[in-house]
């Protein structure tokens, strides 16, 4: 099931009835009433398919599933425009599968498909694909989560990343891990609890949290509801280039990670000995150029100041808030040294920039 934002209806297709028979019907929910979808081209009875709404194109996209009651996985793609289902004919499709997960990725502007199980040969997958309305293309990532099926995939709109959790591995073992994908790299996040598979997952944009219901657990089929969000891990990333001074281009680095409640220490190397060194810190990254030099934090909220030692090294610090609501906040920093031979207006040498992600 997925939500059709253009027509303000939830769309449900197929599944199994109470007798275990596969269904091929479409139902629409308007917030008060379920109504059957308009008659027309039917996809064919199936279960364990995946459905996601393409916000950019205003279409619901369905892929794969199990054909009827047979142990045959499908690799077909269909789109729902609010009136009818239309088959798509991409040149390349993901391998046939069922029990996979799909979500719309706003960063990419595509529907993303993850994992699932295969019937020939029998196994589970760890791949990632994206659909742009015309073609399926694989997404190459690093440190992929282990292969799985019956898992959940959602898009965290507040933090701009895909979140994957739970499912079953190739031996049927329930998985309890949570992963998030950022810029083509998966990284493990805090688990949401015990292992579970075949749950329902949706993202609450008002509260910036995922809502998960039910699923298969070690204790049986669950009927519980939980909400969670993935807390950002503290992180530091360098960007841009500096502007040289008498001793070359200074280098700014963080001594540790910007963990909530801790003291953040920054080190600037390459300043003139026994002269003033500064680090500008702000919540916005804004590029301003002066000749060949680039300022990344021209509107700094905090200016840290110290005197470089005899080796041209300055260490500066600031306290970080302990409030967990600041998790994920991004700060930007750039160092400068007072230097009459500096390329920046004959006054300063500049370092490259640092992006600091506050987290645990």
Q: What is the CATH number of the domain that holds 264?
A: 2.60.40.10
pLDDT, mean of residues 280-300: 92
Among the candidates 183, 205, 228, a domain finishes at 228
Residues 157 and 46 placed together within one structural domain of the fold = yes
Co-location of 165 and 313 in the same domain: no
Out of 202, 228, 254, a domain closes at: 228
Do 137 and 19 fall into the same domain?
yes
Of 101, 138, 136, the residue nearest 116 (C-alpha):
101
Contact 243, 343 (CB under 8 A): yes
pLDDT recorded at residue 205: 85
Of 228, 250, 285, the last residue of a domain is 228
Q: Looking at the structure, tell me whether residues 258 and 346 fall in a common domain.
A: yes
26 with 140, same domain: the answer is yes
Q: Which of 165, 233, 220 is nearest to 193 (CA)?
A: 165
Residue 221 CA, chain-centre distance (Å), reads: 28
- Residue 71 — pLDDT band, cuts 50, 70, 90? confident
pLDDT, one tens digit per residue, over 13-22 is 999 999 999 9
Residue 157: which region, alpha, beta or left (left: phi > 0; alpha: psi -120 to 50)? alpha
Question: Of the ranges 68-72, 197-201, 342-346, which one carries the lowest mean pLDDT score?
Answer: 68-72
Average pLDDT on 326-347 reads: 91
Mean pLDDT of 204-221: 92
Residues 258, 133 share a domain:
no
Extract the tokens encoding 136: 């399926």
CA pair distance 20, 84, nearest whole angstrom: 26
State residue 143's pLDDT score.
83
pTM for the whole structure? 0.68
Task: Give me the number of domains the chain comprises.
Answer: 2
Confidence check: pLDDT of 117 > 90: yes
Tens of pLDDT, residue by residue over 121-170, are 999 999 999 999 999 999 999 888 999 999 999 999 877 889 999 999 99
Apex 240 CA angle, 237 and 244, nearest 5: 120
Range of the domain at 268: 235-357
Q: Is the pLDDT of residue 232 over 70?
A: no
Report the chain's mean pLDDT, rounded to a whole number: 92
Least trusted range by pLDDT, from 36-45, 63-72, 206-215: 36-45
């Amino acid at each position: 099931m997925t939500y059709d934002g253009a027509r303000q209806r939830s769309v449900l297709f197929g599944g199994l009835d109470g007798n275990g028979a596969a269904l091929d019907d479409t139902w629409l929910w308007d917030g008060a009433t379920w109504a059957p979808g308009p008659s027309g081209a039917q996809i064919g009875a199936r279960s364990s398919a995946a459905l996601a709404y393409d916000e950019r194109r205003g279409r619901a996209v369905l892929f794969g599933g199990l054909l009827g009651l047979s142990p045959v996985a499908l690799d077909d793609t269909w789109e729902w425009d609010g009136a009818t289902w239309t088959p798509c004919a991409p040149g390349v499709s993901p391998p046939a599968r069922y029990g996979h997960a799909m979500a719309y990725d706003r960063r990419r502007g595509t529907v993303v498909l993850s994992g699932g199980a295969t019937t020939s040969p029998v196994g589970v997958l760890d791949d990632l694909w994206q659909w742009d309305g015309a073609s399926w293309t694989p997404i190459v990532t690093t440190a992929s989560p282990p292969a799985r099926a019956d898992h959940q995939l959602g898009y965290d709109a507040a933090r701009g990343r895909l979140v994957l959790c739970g499912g079953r591995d190739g031996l049927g073992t329930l998985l309890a891990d949570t992963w998030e994908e950022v810029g083509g790299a998966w990284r493990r996040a805090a688990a949401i609890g015990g292992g579970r598979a075949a749950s329902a997952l949706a993202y609450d944009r008002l509260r910036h949290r995922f809502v998960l219901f039910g699923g298969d657990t070690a204790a049986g089929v669950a009927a519980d509801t939980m909400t969670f969000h993935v807390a950002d891990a503290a992180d530091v990333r360098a960007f841009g280039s500096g502007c040289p001074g008498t001793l070359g281009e200074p280098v700014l680095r963080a001594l540790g990670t910007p963990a909530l409640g801790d003291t953040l220490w920054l080190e600037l190397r390459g300043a003139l000995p026994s002269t003033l060194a500064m680090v500008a810190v702000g919540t916005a990254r804004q590029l301003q150029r002066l000749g060949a030099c680039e300022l990344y934090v021209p509107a700094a909220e905090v200016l840290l100041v110290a005197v470089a030692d005899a080796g041209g090294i300055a260490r500066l610090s600031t306290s970080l808030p302990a409030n967990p609501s600041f998790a994920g906040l991004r700060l930007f920093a750039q160092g400068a040294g007072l230097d009459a031979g500096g390329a920046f207006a004959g006054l300063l040498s500049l370092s490259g920039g640092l992006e600091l992600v506050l987290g645990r």
